[in-house]
Amino acid sequence: MIRIEITAASRVGCVRHQNEDMILVDSHYIRNDDYKTLVTLNHDDRFVVAVADGMGGHNRGDVASSDALRSLQFYYHDIPSGLNPSEFNEAVVGWLDYINNFVASKGRADEQYKGMGTTLVGIAYYFGDFYSMNCGDSRLYRWREGELKQLTTDHSLNNMLGTEKHTSIITNCIGGGCSTSYIDLVKMTDDIKIGDRYLLCSDGLTDMINDKQLANLISEEADANTLCNVAIAEGGLDNVSCCLMLIK
């Protein structure tokens, strides 16, 4: 049995007119709001948390992030029981193919949705195993004993070129005209420890708060809402969304 304390918050920021981010906490969707819950997971349970950042440079990023998370929630809870890690990976890749086709077909049918896309970063619990999921440049961090470590790799131009400064030009996403999207799915069960804190966030948070500041805030037991408020106070140039998970 595993207990996880979760806080989540999603804000529009100081510049944009609408929030294109969205957060999924199992069956709850968070946008322009905050949320807190405590979940208990047994071996046979399944549970998913994800942050999606709709692409602001394309039409209707808010629709893309919403479509991706609503599809993920339905699809994930419909995955057959008892899959091994390889079969689970195939199921997640199957979902990615489906949602990419869905987003693309929506753009072909209606000009206002043409080119829309979204990132997605998440943690999935499936019958005793934890998996990280990543498509795009939203991030998953682990805070352990005062040290903050990024667990995902940004699918972004600056990362491809080896430059440190984040440019928000992504090389992989759901929709957005990507015909060969991929998702990094990593089994992380053996590395989960009591006291770990996992942070899932859009780049609206990490562009405003550097890793050292994040580590200090998490060390002080800041919740997701506090992290969003700090990013907004630092300028809030983009939508700001994050989810904090404490393993208890």
Measured between alpha carbons, how far is 96 from 113 in angstroms, rounded to an integer?
18
What pLDDT, in 10s, does the model give residues 131-180? 999 999 999 999 999 999 999 999 988 777 766 666 678 889 999 887 78
Mean pLDDT, rounded, for 125-135: 97
What pLDDT, in 10s, does the model give residues 17-55? 899 999 999 999 999 999 999 999 999 999 999 999 998
Give 210: exposed, middle or buried? Use CB within 10 Å, 0-12, 13-18, 19+. Answer: exposed
Cα dist. 78→43, 71, 73, 75, 182 in Å? 17, 11, 9, 5, 21
Distant-in-sequence, close-in-space partners of 94: CB < 8 Å, separation ≥ 6: none
Joined tokens for residue 197: 């804190």
Joined tokens for residue 248: 């208890």
What is the pLDDT, as a whole number, of residue 90? 97
Q: What is the DSSP string of 77-144?
A: TTSPTT--HHHHHHHHHHHHHHHHHHHHHHHHH-GGGTT-EE-EEEEEEETTEEEEEEESS-EEEEEE
What is the pLDDT, as a whole number, of residue 234? 96
Q: What is the rounded average pLDDT for all residues in the chain?
A: 94
Measured between alpha carbons, how far is 9 from 35 in angstroms, rounded to an integer?
6
Task: Report the percent of the chain where pLDDT is more than 70.
Answer: 96
* Residue 205 contacts residue 233 (beta carbons within 8 Å): no
* pLDDT over 60 (residue 57): no
Measured between alpha carbons, how far is 84 from 56 in angstroms, rounded to an integer?
37
Measured between alpha carbons, how far is 217 from 230 in angstroms, rounded to an integer?
9
* pLDDT over 60 (residue 123): yes
pTM of the model: 0.95
What is the pLDDT, as a whole number, of residue 161? 72
